[in-house]
Each structure stands twice: as structure tokens, then as C-alpha cells.
Amino acid sequence: MFESSLARGPGALRMRTTRLAGIVLLAGLTAAAVCRADVAASLPPPPSELYGDLFVAVQTQQIFPDQKTFVDAVPNSDPATIVQLYDQSKTQPNFDLKRFVLANFTLPSEPVITPPAGQTLREHIDWLWPKLTRTTTAADVPANSSLLPLPKPYVVPGGRFREGYYWDTYFTMLGLQESGREDLVDDMLDDFAYEIDRFGHIPNGNRTYYLSRSQPPFFGLMVQLAAKAEGERVYQKYLPALKKEYAYWMTGADTTPRGSATRNVVVFKDGTVLNRYWDARDTPRDESYLEDVTTARQAVGRNPNEVYRDLRAAAESGWDFSSRWFGDNRTLTTIRTTSIVPVDLNSLLFSLEATIAKGCALSLDFRCAADYIEKAERRASAINRYLWNENGYYADYDWRLGKLRDNLSAAAMYPLFVRAAWPGRAIKTIHTVRDKLLQTRGLATTTFQTGQQWDAPNGWAPLHWLTIKGAQHYVGNDKLAQEVGTRFLADVKQVYASDHKLVEKYVVEGPNAGGGGGGEYPLQDGFGWTNGVTLKLLDMYAPGE
């Protein structure tokens, strides 16, 4: 594997690059340049733009307990007509805003899912997949809905999350493969390739209000998953989409001055290029408008637009919210996401570079393969230079302050997960994670308790999976993998036994299992990525169940 060569260090990579260049000369091939057609997509506006003052009134007056309700609602007529009617009506005596909204919008519904009695955990997950599958082609989506149509069926997480989400889908795919649903894996890959072609990137989710950002770039890892089941032709099929996604994340890499940043790119003073989370907008999130306005007001002395962008960037990370992004490690108002070079994002981009290299090699474009191997080599070197904390773990880096963040999180395992970690450092990270994050019921997300959902005492299925696989990638470390897997599986099983559901996140500290807390909304059940990881853990640690 390309990742294996990369993990062994620069020498192995240079040898691989030289061999590939030699193959190019011997074969007499001319590698084609990567096409970066800069076709501007016409992006549909989010609800905040469609409804203006009406949107602000609905969200600030908390007409609905969940700020996501209104932005997922469908207008019963043209938005401009509704806005005009609102402007004419709002000053009338006895005007009732909620009554107005209910008369002019169809609210989203959350179907009640009642499973048959007596299902085992595995049977329940297999039964859930069709309940979480949606088909919303252009013909299925009402006019002016915030929902973005997709050409193929896809799986949603569940609960308030009525649309597909980018990084959730990788972990959902793990379970779909275990359930024999390779068809849905292929469908969602096609959906993501369609979004990349149309929008230039994979949005956070298929909603208009998510278009200004992406999420952790797992698309290359999804292609790897499909290729293991279907053969290496999958790499070639999705190679154009892989390259285009990479171009999105690297926009500005060649033009950004040293010591500064452009969009998702950070260029260090020595010329090293790494990446950060970012959002193209610097306004309150449509789906969390009031929460963001409140946070910005409480962030005394800070520019509100700066706060909004940092909140949005944290949403792109998927860790919304976590002490990882806080200047003081504890308080949301100190959030500084765009100042931080995250270890998880750069590990995933390393993997994407290696995946593109493999796709290019399989397509006999060896110059392209050599180019992306070199890119991956540079990134692996940068990860091990800038994102290594001498306390024994991989960490995030604050590029504005010019120093490492000293707050351990489960993201430390990402370089191991993608095989970018140097072996000695991988072992140290495993020991640190076992000593500091492993709890009675699984892996704590961080060492801080802030009341945010991506902090202790919560544990999340995707972080357990990447920790298990990361430990397994380095010989002799199956013990941590087994401890993490069996403890978390016991937590999931106990909650299912008592509540008959799988949930978004779990409490992993203390003797008693339970659903996690914190964050901007109540605990959700369904739940896509928990289902996927649980099926894998059942096969690994409880195959008879």
C-alpha cells in the first residue's frame, strides 16, 4: 500500500517516486495535466438570504425549540411572495408570527420508528438501514426547499438529521458493507462525486445552508472501502472527483504568502503547507442562528464576524464544539478554529494524496502518481514535524501563536489511522491514549469537561473505530484496540438493552452506560455512524451475536 511506504519514512517514498519516474520514461508515456476547470456553480441561497427579516424574527423569537426546524421547512409559495406578505402583515394588530409561519410553511416531520419486539442488536441495525435511507432526486424535492437533491439513494444519521452528512457516511458505509448493502455504498459514492462535480466540494450536508463548507475529507477512504469489495477499478472511476476535491482543499496553496492563510490553506514561515478548517461565510449559521448570535455577544472585545467564522469552521471539523478549538480550552467564546492546524484534517489529506497517487498509477499516469506521492511525503514530514507533542502524542498546532496546542484528544490517533505516524511516535501515542483517554466504557473524546458534546465524558463511535484501526496498523498493539472496542461495544449493548435504540454519542466515564449529553440539541437516536461501527465491533469481538 502507498500508506505503508509513506509511514516508513522519506527514503522509501523517494525510492518509490524514482521507480515511478523511471517507468514513465521506459514506457514513453506523457502524463496528462490535472484538469482544474474553474466552472462556477450557481449555488442556491440559504434560508437566511431567502427570507431576510422574516428569518431573523423566527430564529430570534424561538418560534421553534430547535433552530433547525425553520431552515428545513418548505415554503408553500414563492419565498418573495411570503416575504412581501410578512412585511405587510407584521405591523398589523394581533399579528402572530408562529401562526404566520405555520400558514406559509410545511414543517419537517420526524417519522416515528418503532422496531419489532425481540430484535437482537445486529437484527435491529439491519432493520434500520431502510428506515434511514432517503431518495431525493430533483423530482422529489419541492421548489425552494433547503434540501439539495441527489441522484442516488443515501442514508441519513437519524432524528433531526434528515439529510446526508459527509464524514458520517464513511462510518455508515462500514456497517452497510457488513450488512451486504454494497449497492448503497456505491450510490453514496456517486452522490458525493455528483456534488463535487456540481459544487466543487462535498458540502457538510445536502442542504443549501451547508454549501459554504465541507467536512473532514473521508471521500478517498470511502473509495478505498469500495475498492476492497469491488476491485481497484473503483480508484480509476472516482479519480477525477478525488482530484477535484483535493483542489478545493488546496485552493490558494501556490499564492498564499508565507506566514499567512487563505481559505483552508496555511503556509508556514518556512514554506510548509498544511490545512485548517474554514467556512466561506462569516455570519451566524442558519441552523444555529440564535446560539451563534448569543456566543458572539458574549465574546467581549472580539469581532462578531470572526467569531461566526470560527464557529462555522468548527462545524466543518465535525467537532462542534470541543475544547480543541477554545483559546482557554474551556469556553466557547474563546473559539479560534481558523487559527488551528488540526491533526485530523491533515492526516485525512495525507490519505487523500496517497489515494490519488494510487488512482493515477492504476491509470498508468505515473507522473501524476509521482507528484502525489511527493505531496504525501511532504505532508507526512510536516505532520511529524509540526503536529508532534513531546509529551507523547500527536496534537493540533496554533499557527497564529506559533506553538502546539497542549490538549490531548482522540484526534491524536488519526496519523496512526492513515499510517502517517512514525513507528516510535505511534507507540508513544498509543500509550498516552491508553493512560489518559481510555475509560471504563470506552474512549473519552478529550481530557476536558466543558459541557460541549465533543469533550469528556462523551465518547463517539467514529473515534473508537479510528483508534482501533490506528492501533492495529502498528504491530503489537492489538491490546489497546481490543480494550477500546470491547468497552465501547459493552456501552452500546447496555443502552440498547435498556432503551432499545442506538444513539449519536455515549457517556464512557464511570460504571454506568448511557447516552451522551452537551451540545446545542437533545441526544439523537438512529444513528448512522453508531450503527456502522457497532456492526464492525460485533464481528470483531462478538461474532456469535
- Name the active-site residue from 320, 344, 371, 377: 320
Q: Which DSSP helix (H) or strand (E) runs through 305?
A: helix 304-317
Using CB atoms within 10 A of its CB, is residue 469 exposed (0-12), middle (13-18) or buried (19+)? middle
Total count of residues recorded for the chain: 545
The answer to whether the annotation marks 213 as part of a ligand binding site is yes
The answer to whether the annotation marks 215 as part of a ligand binding site is yes
List b or e across 389-428, with b for residues whose CB sees 16 or more CB atoms inside 10 angstroms. beebbbbbbebeeeebbebbbbbbbbbbbbbbbbeebbbb
Mean pLDDT of the chain: 92
For 176-229, write each residue's pLDDT tens digit.
999 999 999 999 999 999 999 999 999 999 999 999 999 999 999 999 999 999
Confidence of residue 475 (pLDDT cuts 50, 70, 90): confident
- Name the active-site residue from 186, 371, 504, 525: 504
pLDDT at 544: 85
The answer to whether the annotation marks 204 as part of a ligand binding site is yes
Whether the pLDDT of residue 16 is over 60: the answer is: no
Least confident range of 32-46, 137-151, 397-411:
32-46
For 234-287, write each residue's pLDDT tens digit.
999 999 999 999 999 999 999 999 999 999 999 999 999 999 999 999 999 999
The question of whether 374 is a catalytic residue gets the answer: no
Of residues 73 and 37, more confidence is placed in 73
pLDDT at 42: 67
pLDDT at 39: 34
Whether the pLDDT of residue 327 is over 50: the answer is: yes
What's the grid cell of residue 321? 464544539
Q: Which DSSP helix (H) or strand (E) runs through 155?
A: strand 154-155
The answer to whether the annotation marks 367 as part of a ligand binding site is no
The question of whether 320 is a catalytic residue gets the answer: yes
Rounded average pLDDT over 283-304: 98
Nearest Cα residue to 68 out of 372, 522, 499: 522
CA-based angle 163:165:168, to the nearest 5?
A: 130
Confidence of residue 3 (pLDDT cuts 50, 70, 90): very low
For 94-131, write each residue's pLDDT tens digit.
999 999 999 999 999 877 888 999 999 999 999 999 99
DSSP class of residue 405 equals: -
The answer to whether the annotation marks 529 as part of a ligand binding site is no
Whether the pLDDT of residue 28 is over 80: the answer is: no
Whether the pLDDT of residue 19 is over 80: the answer is: no
The answer to whether the annotation marks 524 as part of a ligand binding site is no
The answer to whether 502 touches 481, Cβ cutoff 8 Å, is no
